[in-house]
Amino acid sequence: MDEWAALASRDPAPLLAAVQRDWGGRHDLWVFGYGSLVWRPSFEYAEQRPALVHGWHRALRMRSRINRGTPQQPGLVFALISGGSCRGVAYRIARERVAHELPLLWEREMPTATYDPRWLPCRTPQGPVRALGFTLSRRSPSLLAPLADDELRHILRHAQGRYGSTLEYLLETAASLRRCGIRDREIERLEKLARAL
């Protein structure tokens, strides 16, 4: 079995069960968004706050063979990779809604166990929260090495998946972060690269 088949065969259900056990059901549940969850959370939340996570950074380095690309022309999506820091959005799901909303979030983010879900300490203007975040291991076969600008341009021109293109995904993420007052210099650089296509 090759590494892609092995990855696709990983069962995300035990990870969901572990997250539900860790959460425990005694309080509201927080989720940290850093990419498409900023502009399309697709779950019902009671509150959102700007949030800062240390020890992780956003990078357009996760291969997408379905959502933003194909097996023949893989696209890219953002991943949360160890090192640095990341500004994003923390969403609070009311305790009584978690049983309904968490499986919807899981279906979207974890159709296979590509991500490593973990609890992230987030700083928010109203104080710290512990939020569920979807991180990517540096050992994952889905993680690409940093790409040269020519390779990025090729992907931005050609990669298209079931939810649209990598280009649309990048531009929507950039616009949404701006609307939230979040500066990300690397995304601004990538946006300039994309607009010069």
Residue ranges per structural domain of the chain = 3-195
Q: Does the annotation count 3 as an active-site position? A: no
Please identify which of the residues 47, 96, 101, 109 carries the catalytic annotation.
Answer: 109
From CA 77, how far away is CA 56, in angstroms rounded? 16
Q: Is the pLDDT of residue 10 over 90?
A: no
Q: The pTM is what?
A: 0.91
Compute how many other C-beta atoms are within 10 angstroms of the C-beta atom of residue 91.
27
Q: How confident is the model at residue 4 (pLDDT cuts 50, 70, 90)?
A: very low
Q: How confident is the model at residue 8 (pLDDT cuts 50, 70, 90)?
A: very low
Would you identify the CATH topology of the domain 3-195?
Hypothetical upf0131 protein ytfp (3.10.490)
The beta-carbon contacts of 179-188 under 8 Å, at least 24 apart in sequence, are 180/38, 180/50, 180/89, 181/50, 182/50, 182/87, 182/88, 183/87, 184/58, 184/87, 186/58, 186/59, 186/60, 187/58, 187/60
From CA 77, how far away is CA 166, in angstroms rounded? 7
Angle formed at CA 39 by CA 115 and CA 122, multiple of 5 degrees: 60
The answer to whether 62 and 134 have CB atoms below 8 angstroms apart is no
From CA 62, how far away is CA 181, in angstroms rounded? 25
The answer to whether 133 and 80 have CB atoms below 8 angstroms apart is yes
Alpha-carbon torsion 73, 79, 88, 178, what sign? negative
- The one-letter amino acid at 151: E
Average pLDDT of the chain is: 92
- pLDDT per residue as tens digits for the range 60-116: 999 999 889 999 999 999 999 999 999 999 999 999 999 999 999 998 888 777 899
Tokens matching residue 117? 């879900």
